[in-house]
Chains A and B, each alone.
Chain A
Amino acid sequence: MSQESQDMQTTADHIKKSDVRTTVAVTPRKAPADTPADEACECAVIRSENFCLYYGSKTGVKNITMDIYPCSVTAIIGPSGCGKSTFLRSINRMNDLIPHVRTEGRLEVDGHHIYDKRTNLVNLRQQVGMVFQKPNPFPKSIFDNVAYGPRLQGIRRKDELQHIVEQSLRGGALWEEVKDDLNKSALALSGGQQQRLCIARALATRPRVLLMDEPCSALDPIATAKIEDLMGQLQGTYTIVIVTHNMQQAARVSERAAFFCLGELIEYDYTSRIFSNPKKKETEDYVTGRFG
């Protein structure tokens, strides 16, 4: 018990520190350089070096080397089964749930190799929030859904929780719609609202990074537009990595884009360049619709 509470305490400290860092990180953006690699390495939140992941004997992704930069939206695009979701889920080690998974290479978040044995999974996942393809609110009240993460961090005080829930729901652009019935079941919300609730829930642990796995694929265009707006608002504060099938969406929301194919990173550049002036043939084929 004491061990646990201590953990909780360190977690909370950690969050505070990361908050500070986040605010420091909100600096005016650098002008686009020639290539992303030209930027200073210290800036990257997530660094992947020759990262490979295997499901048993099958290859999920191999030799991914890319840096993901803070306070921007990075899109991962590619045909089905190309490993983009696998890579995304590797960043907060959600692939651990699948048996016989093996990794090679390095994957760093904030300079820590996350596949190290000493990695604290709880801390990692609170640092790196995730939003799933299908909205998955828990069958609890809206309040309890959002308060789930903070409670895990050991926050018990009612007023503090209330404050966090309100901030997170505002962050998720849902506050105005649900502020009067926070005790209603989350499952009574519409699909779009549910997805924004899931984003708010992920924000409640105050993460640095937000991973989004095709967050709009189950939603109608209006709800999609709302989520995209939200991403626009969030990108100043959070590092967002989004996997999407919808290339217009990638073009609309992301600053940089990575094109994956058959488990490999083919091209990684500013989104505008990927779509207007890709360097690789495969990328061009894909974004122009000749392939995939």
Chain B
Amino acid sequence: MNLKIRGKLDQVFTAATGLSVVLLMLILVAILGPMLYRGGNAVFFQGTVEFRKMQRDLFRRADDTTLNAEIARTEEFRRQVYAMIDEFKKGVDVEALSDEVRELHRRFGEELRAKDVPSEQYSQLRGLTRDIRDNLETAFTKRDVGEIRPLVEAALQHAENPAFKGTSAEQFFRIARSFLATAEKVDLNHQREYAAALRDVEGILFHTQDLPGLLGPRPDEPQPLLVMLRYGTTRWDQARRLLDRFFWVEEWVEGNPGQPLVMRRTARAELFPESFRPLFSYVRDNAEKMLEPRFTAYWQFFLDDNVNSHYFGGVGPEILGTLFITVVGMLFVIPLGVVSAAYLVECAPDGQVIRIIRMCINTLAGVPSIVFGLFGLAFFVLFLFPLLGFEPKPCILAASMTLAVLTLPVMIRASEEAIRAVPRSYREGSLALGSSRFHTFVSVTLPAALPGILTGVILSLSRIAGETAPILFTGAVSMGDVPRSVFDPTRTLSYGSYDMAVGDRLAMMVPHNQYGMVVTLVLLILILNTVAIVLRTRVFKKLRGQ
């Protein structure tokens, strides 16, 4: 009976341990799976023609003939959109129209002066165009077609005047005719709302002041200063989100009093008069033809340094910066950690002082990382650097030193355990051969403790590469050049993903890049750890004589 229970208990124990391992694997898959999938989106996606344009302009990666053909094809379909918007705009955007006629009047005067017409003819023609301009400007302010028509017709009666042939004054009549046409079709009482709604549509389709749009800037408009505004959406999934915003207006409205706000979606087309609605069905039907999405494997994501890498993707400088900080950090951690551990094990007499030192190390391991960040700023950047004659600014050196302080406890403890675990007989054997204590440590104890020390290296390596808070104030930037020395600040993967998480509307448009950065960080740490583990296994095998 007793034996049976014991057997059962053993089985339960085995099952429980197996189950916990399976559970661990499941959790790992549950965490890493979606992250890998989403991160993979940064590399594999449906790239649009805008993506290929961007690649050509920024990296000279393109087959020019095919790309030009593509651009021509897409422009063909886009032109229709431009035309529809232009025509509608003529009717509703009266301020723009007024500006235009005023500009026309001025330009016409310059043309006349250039032609050296006699002064009385000059003043007569100027008077005529002034009348036309005034009539049109008044017409633009009216809402009622009945009032508009006489004013426009008054302007149009000069249309046949031979003096205006071939001058900018001809434009007056084109504007007048299209305005009258729009006024007859559209209820101008809603002019203001239309203008506002049109601005939204243009923002989504082309770009706003700070956000890129679906198609990119119009070919006839001057190139925007921000590089990212020069291209439309580079990815089809992003385009689909923009299209959704294009077709639907989302508003947060109060449902029932005291209840959370609810989102209401209304069709954007309903904000516009009947005559403009074909634009929406046109975009719906031809979106793919305007963007030509195609499957893209963007391997250069891991190498590229885009000016706006957070928008277009490309984490080359981030990877470089992370490696840089990690390597410099390890240069501090490994010697300091091993030497401190050696002191604690080999030299320090057992006593109160050592107990206090060990307690301090353990406490240090539990301090929140943001505290280290502030410490690094206060001590290294603001205190130590001016003292040593360096410029007191955040840089890789400060970041690495801060991270080194952060991971020192881990390194010391791992090395201490490793050194303590070396059999005393090794030490005695070496000393009995006449070796000094230092030489014994360097030539016998340290090599024997190497696998354990490498475990400490692995632990602190992952920590250094992944920490964000300590480098927040000491050496990380979200944009900037690739560092040239340890006295430059750098972009890092950890800080980049943090920066995007707390970023603005732009960051919300590119979650794939954020995941891409996180996955890159995980892969980088994985690779670094694999290297360290392989190294450790080899050292271990060599020590064991296998």
Interface residues, chain A, CB within 8 Å of chain B? Answer: 92, 94, 97, 99, 121-126, 129-130, 132, 134, 136-140, 148-149, 152-153, 184-189, 198, 201-202, 205
- 10 A-B residue pairings within 8 Å (CB atoms): A99-B349, A122-B436, A125-B431, A132-B428, A136-B426, A139-B448, A149-B433, A149-B434, A152-B439, A187-B545
Given A136-B425, A136-B426; A188-B545 close (CB under 8 Å): yes
The answer to the question of B531 belonging to the interface, with a C-beta cut-off of 8 Å to chain A, is no
Task: Report the bound CA distance from A136 to B430 in whole Å.
Answer: 10
Task: Report the bound CA distance from A189 to B427 in whole Å.
Answer: 20
Nearest 4 A/B pairs, CB to CB: A185-B545, A188-B545, A136-B425, A125-B434
Residue with the greatest number of chain B CB neighbours at <10 A, chosen from A122, A123, A134, A205: A122
The answer to the question of B33 belonging to the interface, with a C-beta cut-off of 8 Å to chain A, is no
Given A187-B543, A187-B544, A188-B546; A138-B431 close (CB under 8 Å): no
B433 x A129 contact (CB < 8 A): yes
Task: Report the bound CA distance from A160 to B414 in whole Å.
Answer: 40
The answer to the question of B127 belonging to the interface, with a C-beta cut-off of 8 Å to chain A, is no
**Nearest CB of B to A112, in Å:** 15
In the complex, which range does the number of interface residues on chain B fall in? 20 to 34
Which of B426, B433, B546 is close to A205, meaning CB atoms less than 8 Å apart? Answer: B433
B428 x A123 contact (CB < 8 A): no
Task: Report the bound CA distance from A97 to B431 in whole Å.
Answer: 10
Task: Report the bound CA distance from A136 to B349 in whole Å.
Answer: 26
- Residues of B contacting A132 with CB < 8 Å? 425, 428-429, 432
Given A184-B545, A187-B544; A139-B447 close (CB under 8 Å): yes
- Residues of B contacting A149 with CB < 8 Å? 433-434
B426 x A126 contact (CB < 8 A): no
B435 x A136 contact (CB < 8 A): no
The answer to the question of B542 belonging to the interface, with a C-beta cut-off of 8 Å to chain A, is yes
The answer to the question of B480 belonging to the interface, with a C-beta cut-off of 8 Å to chain A, is no
Which of B423, B426, B433 is close to A125, meaning CB atoms less than 8 Å apart? Answer: B433
Task: Report the bound CA distance from A187 to B541 in whole Å.
Answer: 11
**Nearest CB of A to B113, in Å:** 93
A148 x B430 contact (CB < 8 A): yes
B444 x A138 contact (CB < 8 A): yes
Task: Report the bound CA distance from A204 to B431 in whole Å.
Answer: 14
A152 x B349 contact (CB < 8 A): no
**Nearest CB of A to B351, in Å:** 11
Task: Report the bound CA distance from A123 to B544 in whole Å.
Answer: 31
Q: B21-61: contact bitstring with A at CB < 8 Å (1 yes, 0 no)?
A: 00000000000000000000000000000000000000000
- Residues of B contacting A153 with CB < 8 Å? 434
Q: How many A-B Cβ pairs are below 8 Å? A: 81
Task: Report the bound CA distance from A120 to B438 in whole Å.
Answer: 16
B432 x A92 contact (CB < 8 A): yes
Q: B319-354: contact bitstring with A at CB < 8 Å (1 yes, 0 no)?
A: 000000000000000000000000000000110000
Which of A94, A185, A187, A201 is close to B428, meaning CB atoms less than 8 Å apart? Answer: A94
A186 x B545 contact (CB < 8 A): yes
Residue with the greatest number of chain A CB neighbours at <10 A, chosen from B423, B434, B544: B434
Which of B423, B429, B433, B543 is close to A185, meaning CB atoms less than 8 Å apart? Answer: B543
- Residues of B contacting A130 with CB < 8 Å? 428, 432
- Residues of A contacting B430 with CB < 8 Å? 138, 148
Other than the known A97-B428, A125-B432, A132-B428, what 13 A-B pairs have Cβ atoms closer than 8 Å? Answer: A94-B428, A94-B432, A97-B427, A124-B434, A125-B434, A132-B425, A132-B429, A138-B429, A138-B444, A148-B435, A149-B434, A152-B433, A187-B543
Task: Report the bound CA distance from A18 to B349 in whole Å.
Answer: 37
Task: Report the bound CA distance from A153 to B433 in whole Å.
Answer: 10
**Nearest CB of A to B98, in Å:** 90
- Residues of B contacting A92 with CB < 8 Å? 432
A136 x B428 contact (CB < 8 A): yes
Task: Report the bound CA distance from A126 to B434 in whole Å.
Answer: 5
**Nearest CB of A to B248, in Å:** 70
Task: Report the bound CA distance from A124 to B542 in whole Å.
Answer: 32
A148 x B433 contact (CB < 8 A): yes
Taking CB as reference atom, which chain A residue is nearest B436? A122
Task: Report the bound CA distance from A88 to B430 in whole Å.
Answer: 17
**Nearest CB of A to B97, in Å:** 89
Task: Report the bound CA distance from A99 to B545 in whole Å.
Answer: 34
B543 x A139 contact (CB < 8 A): yes
- Residues of B contacting A187 with CB < 8 Å? 543-545
Task: Report the bound CA distance from A148 to B545 in whole Å.
Answer: 18
Task: Report the bound CA distance from A125 to B433 in whole Å.
Answer: 6
Task: Report the bound CA distance from A148 to B432 in whole Å.
Answer: 11
Given A99-B349, A138-B444, A139-B448; A202-B432 close (CB under 8 Å): yes
B447 x A140 contact (CB < 8 A): yes
Given A99-B349, A136-B423, A186-B545; A205-B434 close (CB under 8 Å): yes
- Residues of B contacting A136 with CB < 8 Å? 423, 425-426, 428-429
Task: Report the bound CA distance from A186 to B542 in whole Å.
Answer: 10
- Residues of A contacting B544 with CB < 8 Å? 139, 185, 187-188
Residue with the greatest number of chain B CB neighbours at <10 A, chosen from A97, A152, A198, A202: A152
**Nearest CB of A to B535, in Å:** 16
Task: Report the bound CA distance from A286 to B431 in whole Å.
Answer: 34
**Nearest CB of B to A98, in Å:** 11
**Nearest CB of A to B418, in Å:** 13
A152 x B435 contact (CB < 8 A): yes
Which of A123, A188, A198 is close to B429, meaning CB atoms less than 8 Å apart? Answer: A198
Taking CB as reference atom, which chain A residue is nearest B541? A185
Task: Report the bound CA distance from A3 to B431 in whole Å.
Answer: 20
Task: Report the bound CA distance from A205 to B24 in whole Å.
Answer: 55
- Residues of A contacting B543 with CB < 8 Å? 139, 185, 187
Task: Report the bound CA distance from A129 to B443 in whole Å.
Answer: 19
- Residues of A contacting B423 with CB < 8 Å? 136
Task: Report the bound CA distance from A99 to B439 in whole Å.
Answer: 20
Taking CB as reference atom, which chain A residue is nearest B539? A139
Task: Report the bound CA distance from A16 to B431 in whole Å.
Answer: 21
**Nearest CB of B to A41, in Å:** 28
Task: Report the bound CA distance from A137 to B428 in whole Å.
Answer: 11
- Residues of A contacting B545 with CB < 8 Å? 139, 184-189
**Nearest CB of A to B507, in Å:** 53
